[in-house]
Structure 1
Amino acid sequence: MKILFQGEEKLLPLLLDEEEHIQIRIAALNEMLFNSYVEERLLSFIHNFISTSSSKELQRFWYTTVKSLESSEHPRYTPNL
């Protein structure tokens, strides 16, 4: 997987580590989503990983985040019309 920004190489392993504390994992995900450019390919990877994760808390966080982005005015996640 291509590293897009310097922090991703540290944040993605935190998110993927099932043994890491859930708050650390959620913080890593949040940091990647809102403080960097995330390619669609990486978003798909994250979605697939979280969908099969054993962490229901991580799944709930992901669901509510994606739902909130639907109505977001954040420039990174606003569709270009």
Structure 2
Amino acid sequence: MAFTNEQIAVLEGAIASGILTVRYADRTVTYQSLKEMRITLRQMRGEMAAQVPGRPRARRTIRLYQSGSGNV
């Protein structure tokens, strides 16, 4: 789903006000918690950033560490 800057601004405003119900154009969304709203906001910002042409994607590095000798 493509998000708009206006939708992001509305959600940011709701988070700042502590309101769990947000209205986007003809839709009304009621979130269960502030945590859910922050997760959604992070997703919206990520998708907006991915739409910017010429911008490289962020790289994620996962490092694994095993302690001990590895012998069983």
TM-score, length-normalised on structure 1?
0.29
Greater C-alpha Rg? 2
Q: Higher strand fraction: Structure 1 or Structure 2?
A: 2
Q: Higher helix fraction: Structure 1 or Structure 2?
A: 1
Higher relative contact order (CA 8 A, sep 6+): 2
